[in-house]
Structure 1
């Protein structure tokens, strides 16, 4: 597994040399854009609209647009010095909290941590301490020139760094338009919806969920490669039911057929027959 970062995780006076590896990968099917006439890939060039010419990489500088068409140009040396200052700092665990206290909206991306040379004992210590206390660590670290807020937790016996958004990066729910408040719900509809939820409730097994769009797209691509006709197969389209109660009932009926719940075993009570003395 490719190492994308090396550094030190610290809590208190304990330092853990670690390597970081991407825990997830993007499985999207990447499609290129071609010129329809000659099937050549389209190129994208960096062009200055004022000078009307292509701009080379060494001619480009970074800047912050503080108002429309007004920029503060940042020197490369300033940015490199700031990045080095932050990178040289150890990743320090600031606090320990419970995982359930963090809403999933904050989570961004996961990275595996493995111990670097001389870090096995301290790595095992932190893992055991997190496991025993049921806590996760909150830390700051530099990833790709950005200071990230992160949590350190355990996933299947491996330490994981989970980058999370800062509070000011999460948009206020008050800004979401047309969210109803305290709308009265019809009891019959609510009861049916709860029955539907109960019928579809199961143990989370991530392996059973697949990307049907990606699978179908790859089938089409393979069919095109071999000049065969590929058929797109997908889920059955939902019935055109407009009434809410009818939709709930139809969904419940279909769920019962597709996901029959196992019947509960009933224990028969033992009966005793009294003998009548003759």
Structure 2
């Protein structure tokens, strides 16, 4: 793995040299853009408006727009002097119980690795202390041209830094919640159903979209048709109590009770 970031994690007077590595990799199924008239691939070209011509990748740089519309070019050397302490140091601002962090704010996770022999002991100490207390460290860090809040937490003996969305990046759900009344008996049955359905082997679940897409492509090439997809799941229940009672019976039967 290639390191995404290197620098210091600072907690109190302890400075821990680390490297960050992406902890996840998505495997998206990519569909190409085509010209619907003839099926040929569509290309996206880099075009300079001022000169009215296509330019090469080597001619492309980055810039910041001023309020009057002018563009200020910024080079990698310029960005290296960005006056932002979190570029090279992630200072732990404090520690909070892990459950105090709303999961909706979690963003990208990174594995944290000690960088050099002198980092091993403070790294092991931080991992074990967090594991024992159930607390997570809250820090600020600049990764990939963005400053983020982040939490530091242990996972199977490894320190994980998980970036967080800022508060103003979380949307207000508005009036999406339901105000429909529920009875005590309905709530009791729903709780029983939840307990009966406790336990999912997440590692055994797989993304079936790629396989379904492959079947579709094969059918298109061969000229064969595909069967109409079946609607997933039962229709919405008209009688909530009856649906809950039947669900509990089915769940118990599946468990052999």
Normalising by structure 1, what TM-score?
0.74
1:113 deviates by 1.1
* Aligned Cα root-mean-square deviation (Å): 3.5
For residues 23 and 82 of structure 2, what CA distance do their matches in structure 1 show? 24
Show CA shifts across 1:82-134 (max 9, x none). Answer: 53744653111111111101111111111111122222222112112212222
Shift of 1:52: 5.7
Q: 1:210 aligns with which of 206, 227, 236?
A: 206
Q: Give the C-alpha shift of residue 197 in structure 1.
A: 2.5
Q: 1-side partners of 2:98 and 2:227: how far apart?
A: 41
Counterpart pick for 1:76 among 62, 74, 77: 74
Structure number with greater Rg is 1
Q: Could you say which residue in structure 1 is the equivalent of 2:159?
A: 159
- Runs of 5+ in structure 1 lacking a partner? 264-278
Distance (whole Å) between structure 2 residues aligned to residue 94 and residue 15 of structure 1: 13
Name the CA shift for 1:166/1:85 in 2 (closer, same or farther; >3 Å): closer
Provide structure 2 residue ranges, at least 5 long, that are not aligned to the other structure: none
Point out the more displaced range, 225-234 or 4-13: 225-234
Match of 1:44 in 2: 44
Structure 1 residues 50 and 117: CA distance shift in structure 2, 3 A: closer
Asked if 1:243 corresponds to 2:238, the answer is yes
Contact 2:20–2:110, Cα closer than 8 Å, also in 1? yes
Deviation at 1:220, TM superposition (A): 4.0
Q: Is the 8 A contact 2:87 2:142 kept in 1?
A: no
SS of residue matched to 1:17: strand
Change in Cα spacing, 1:228 to 1:154, as seen in structure 2 (3 Å) is: farther
Q: 1:134, 1:101 → 2: CA distance?
A: 11
Instruction: Give 1:210 deviation, angstroms.
Output: 2.3
* TM-score, scaled relative to structure 2: 0.79
CA distance 1:99–1:230, change in 2 (3 Å) = farther
Looking at structure 1, the residues matched to 181 and 228 of structure 2 have their Cα atoms a distance apart, in angstroms, of 40
Kindly state the Cα deviation for residue 19 of structure 1 after the two structures are TM-superposed. Answer: 1.7
Deviates further, 146-155 or 205-214: 205-214
Structure 1 counterpart SS, 2:153: strand
Aligned partners of 2:29 and 2:210 also within 8 Å: yes
